[in-house]
Chains A and B, each alone.
Chain A
């Protein structure tokens, strides 16, 4: 197959997935905008915590307070960046969708038609994300503009000062997307054995919430937790891109971090392929 035909096929899949996303306009727009609510509550929560700490320490200004090495503005900057990272790495409905397709037999079409399921779904997911960003870019820009003061006092390694860091940040966002896709696809493919993956997905979500940096910056964690999260792939889904942007990871650490991320991506690509091939061998074509 010539590359041109391959690209044309990808483009068609992408286009059709995109069209499908736009069918239910109202639900889509509302769903996109609603995702900004949690970040607002989190900012207020930390504001309240800092206020309380300020009062108990008898400090004059909230800016003098530092928790686990993070000042208030740094916290807010961190959360905004985490929100951006998660906009790339989160895969709503992917794992449960794969398991459902296995259970109700919809997966048959990938076995019958000359198309690769994981590749096809990856394109579907890209379309999903493109549709999301095209709507979310407005609110994202607004929030970052309103909080622009939070990004004033960053170190010289931060992406606001260094083109190299900015490039590394963008790379970590894109890789976070790929990692998130293959990680959740792997969980979904367990459906070949268990049929229902809701509980395992729940456990994954729970761990991901705390250990990816979604809830708090991971470098606040004491040992042995710090080492643990460092060994897990979850930090690349939220913490790592934000830390790169803020200049907390730089130089050899940054190169090392990106290399480990590449390793994790390859790991989950291979694992998901392997599960898929094992899975379709034992698949019994449920549902008529």
Chain B
């Protein structure tokens, strides 16, 4: 049995639609227009024990909603999910003792107290044996290099230090499944890197299962072998990071440096010119035509240097998000379904 099994999971929210202005506000006291926002539209996914999976997708794609469903914060409209055999939204203590959710934008620690007090509370509510608790706490805070900050009130910690404390708190009870919602949001490059390094080490050591959402491609590249792209509440891609380029980009980028300056003005014949910077040019050509195009250019011009590359991952993913948006807009060209209720 897989550790996470999701079948046809859907979730929609009813959102109050308010028009601008005072009159509309007054009208809103009596009649309200609601719109159903479908955040997750039928997700199927299985994750095996020990996998480190990244959820990618634009804002509002349904990544966080999926994590909230899996951690039992919200109930789905339909579909099923099992994590370690538990249905998350039943919120059984047996399940809640075995997973953790860390949200980069939310604080679970007691703001005015030192982190060690929050940890002590976790020890009690998660019923961690005293020796195991102290061992885990020291190990985690050493790895994250925050041990000397244990006695400082959380409000006086930097964002990076606080995130490290949040991670420690979440891992004290040695969860088997960890959900991370943008754990590096707002952190500087060094702190981001430290947290990546820690997560990689910890995951490899304990072989726990981690689901991560992030907008930083570096997080994903450093940590996850498997990437799931969610857009508009659906899974658009499930595979390796490098596979994204193979699946969604039929192009390569050729960078050419010419011996003669005016050669660059001749490039429109060979492909879409991305950059012109004499004596260099960047052109985009279909993957299948790379060899033929290069041969043709070489036959006509003197070339000093050449590089053939995949387009940048961020670009591919951005165009993927955009193409899904367009398709969605076309599909929903008819007026949005809305209901009026008292």
Contact residues in A for B125 (Cβ distance below 8 Å): 9, 13, 113-115
Say which residue of A5, A13, A23 sits within 8 Å of B121 (CB atoms). Answer: A13
CB distance from A246 to the nearest CB of B (A): 41
Contact residues in B for A224 (Cβ distance below 8 Å): none
Interface positions, chain A 130-156, Cβ under 8 Å from B, are none
Quick check: is A266 within 8 A (CB to CB) of the other chain? no
Q: Which residue of chain A has the shortest Cβ distance to B94 in the bound complex?
A: A114
Interface segment among A89-97, A209-217, A280-288: the answer is A280-288
Contact residues in B for A57 (Cβ distance below 8 Å): none
CB distance from B131 to the nearest CB of A (A): 16
Q: Which residue of chain A has the shortest Cβ distance to B11 in the bound complex?
A: A284
Contact residues in B for A23 (Cβ distance below 8 Å): 112-113, 153
Query: Interface size (B, Cβ < 8 Å)?
Result: 34
Quick check: is B54 within 8 A (CB to CB) of the other chain? no
Quick check: is A161 within 8 A (CB to CB) of the other chain? no
Contact residues in A for B117 (Cβ distance below 8 Å): 16, 19
- Label chain B's interface by main secondary structure: mixed
A288-B185 Cα distance, complex, nearest whole Å: 12
A281 & B73 in contact (Cβ 8 Å cutoff): no
Quick check: is B216 within 8 A (CB to CB) of the other chain? no
Quick check: is B127 within 8 A (CB to CB) of the other chain? yes
Given contacts A5-B127, A108-B73, A112-B71, contact A288 B121 (CB under 8 A): no
B103 & A12 in contact (Cβ 8 Å cutoff): no
Interface positions, chain B 112-134, Cβ under 8 Å from A, are 112-113, 117-118, 120-127
Quick check: is B80 within 8 A (CB to CB) of the other chain? no
Quick check: is B106 within 8 A (CB to CB) of the other chain? yes
A111 & B124 in contact (Cβ 8 Å cutoff): no
B108 & A20 in contact (Cβ 8 Å cutoff): no
B75 & A13 in contact (Cβ 8 Å cutoff): no
Contact residues in A for B181 (Cβ distance below 8 Å): 288
Contact residues in A for B232 (Cβ distance below 8 Å): none
Q: Mark A259-288, 1 if CB is under 8 A from B, else 0.
A: 000000000000000000000110111011
Say which residue of A109, A114, A285 sits within 8 Å of B97 (CB atoms). Answer: A114
Quick check: is B13 within 8 A (CB to CB) of the other chain? yes
A113 & B105 in contact (Cβ 8 Å cutoff): no
Quick check: is A257 within 8 A (CB to CB) of the other chain? no
Given contacts A113-B125, A288-B181, contact A16 B96 (CB under 8 A): no
Q: Mark A9-42, 1 if CB is under 8 A from B, else 0.
A: 1001100100110011000000000000000000
A12-B75 Cα distance, complex, nearest whole Å: 31
Contact residues in A for B100 (Cβ distance below 8 Å): 112
Residues of A participating in the B interface, judged by any CB pair closer than 8 Å = 1, 5, 8-9, 12-13, 16, 19-20, 23-24, 105-106, 108-109, 111-115, 280-281, 283-285, 287-288
Residues of B participating in the A interface, judged by any CB pair closer than 8 Å = 13, 64-65, 68, 71-75, 91, 93, 96-97, 100-101, 103, 105-106, 108, 110, 112-113, 117-118, 120-127, 153, 181
A8-B124, A24-B112, A288-B106 known, 16 other contacts, Cβ within 8 Å: A5-B127, A12-B121, A16-B120, A19-B113, A19-B117, A109-B108, A111-B72, A113-B96, A113-B126, A114-B96, A114-B125, A114-B126, A115-B125, A285-B65, A285-B68, A288-B105
The 9 closest A-B pairs by CB, nearest first: A114-B96, A114-B93, A12-B124, A9-B124, A23-B112, A288-B105, A285-B73, A285-B74, A285-B68
